[in-house]
Copies of this chain bind each other. A is one copy, B any other.
Amino acid sequence: MWNEYGQKAKEASKALAKAGNQLRVNAVCLIADRLECNSANLMVANSYDLQTARRNGMSEAMLDRLRVTSERITQMASGLRVLAEQQDPLGRSLEQMERPNGLHIEKISVPLGVIALIYEARPNVTADAAGLCLRAGNAVILRGGKEAINTNRLIAGLMRGALAELNLPEDAVQLMEDEGREGAQALMTMNAYVDLLIPRGSKALIDSVVQHATVPVLKTGEGVCHTYVDKDAGIGMAASIVHNAKVSRCTVCNALECLLVHKDIAEAALPVISGKLFESGVTILGDEETLRIVPQAQPATENDWGHEFLSLTLACRVVDSMEDAMEHISRYGSGHSEAIVTENLETAEHFLNAVDAAAVYHNASTRFTDGGEFGMGAEIGISTQKLHARGPAGLNALTSYKYIIKGGGQIR
């Protein structure tokens, strides 16, 4: 029964793969228009979801994620229009080889095929993720949290309507409706149909998918980001970068979780850096040396290193050298985003090359690890695995490739 979603998606993906760039652009734009035209309907549908969720005791934070406002509808629509403007991710010539035997081999980008998404009660993911998949020529199966079912049903319906109007297969977007978790579980093992499964949401959700899926998975999520303030750092710049990385949006994966400061600059830098953080209500959990320099800080415990606070709490440690800082990052980091602040270019180069993370920064905030900021238009998530896509995963991450080989009768 659940396999039907896969079969339909596979069929749709074949038709979609043949659709040219302009048709895919038109589809994404038409969906944006439809979302805006149906703004009032969307908010009505969403109000049912909100009502039920409130009755079931959903927290305020979760209710906020579930909520659709006219501003958020505008955001979804403009996100789709930005995707439309991106260069076509398909048909790119990635490599060309002329072999000694005369064979001409070309490696060309093609769609992945069928992408499945399992996510929670954020209706904007429905529009954003499906838009990315369609722009890259993929069919998508959406399995969102049931708390958002009325909103998601309407968004998916608008997308399907837009596809049909352009003579594209409406099954290129399917919303899976399962009462329990059987549908989601079926998706995880639909190896005959699903080319990529992307879980989006809590660590528990992502871990569960990684645990149970037999289809290829793109893992996104955890970010334990560090910023190392070198002895040769400009203190003003360090304070500004650290403040921005911690405070501008502390609930996201590219926010700063742990500050490392070289001992030679700690005495001068920490009061400036911490003063700026305290003004914004940050709690600092420091090691002994930090506590000596910044008496307002609270003592850190071993558990605070490598912890993803996702709040206005920051761990802080004074280190003896850059090597110690890199050792700390290697041990406690999650391989997401790491930064060094220094005016010494040689030191910076060493750090940039040696640190193993998706994004390594010199003199900038880790908050830039983001598909939009990287010029990708949007992203389906920030990959924390090394396979296929690492860091912000944009349209190109939703493609595969094939080899086209032209010969004149060559045999082996």
A residues whose Cβ falls under 8 Å from a Cβ of B: 14, 17-18, 97, 99, 103, 105, 110, 112-113, 191, 195-196, 210-211, 214, 216-218, 234, 237, 240-241, 243-245, 248, 330, 348, 352, 354, 356-365, 367-369, 373-375, 385-388, 390-391, 400-412
Contacts and interface: CB of A to CB of B under 8 A. Distances in A.
Nearest to A410: B364
Contact of A373 (B352, B373, B388, B412): B412
B387 A400 contact: yes
A194 B375 CA distance: 31
Q: Which one of A237, A385, A408 has the highest number of Cβ atoms from chain B below 10 Å of its Cβ?
A: A385
B368 A412 contact: yes
Contacts of A18: 354
Contacts of A361: 405-407
A112 B401 CA distance: 20
A411 B356 contact: no
A400 B412 contact: no
B330 A364 contact: no
B388 A388 contact: yes
B352 A411 contact: no
Nearest to A97: B375
Contacts of A218: 387
Given A196-B386, A218-B387, A364-B410, 10 more contacts: A103-B373, A113-B356, A216-B217, A248-B411, A360-B403, A362-B404, A364-B409, A364-B411, A365-B410, A386-B400
A110 B178 CA distance: 41
Contacts of A195: 385-387
A99 B367 CA distance: 15
Contact of A17 (B217, B356, B364): B356
- How would you classify the secondary structure of chain A's contact residues: helix, strand, loop or mixed? mixed
A320 to B, nearest CB: 20
A36 B359 CA distance: 43
A322 B359 CA distance: 47
A408 B401 CA distance: 37
Given A112-B387, A210-B214, A244-B411, A402 B360 contact: yes
A14 B210 CA distance: 25
Given A99-B373, A330-B14, A387-B195, A244 B403 contact: no
Given A97-B374, A373-B99, A412-B248, A405 B368 contact: yes
Nearest to A385: B216
A359 B216 contact: no
Given A191-B210, A374-B97, A390 B402 contact: yes
Contacts of A112: 386-387
A352 B385 CA distance: 32
Given A97-B375, A103-B364, A390-B400, A211 B214 contact: yes
Nearest to A195: B386
A408 to B, nearest CB: 6
A240 B409 contact: yes
A241 B330 CA distance: 53
Contact of A407 (B103, B357, B362): B362
Given A237-B409, A356-B110, A368 B402 contact: no
Nearest to A10: B330
A103 B241 CA distance: 14
A217 B217 CA distance: 9
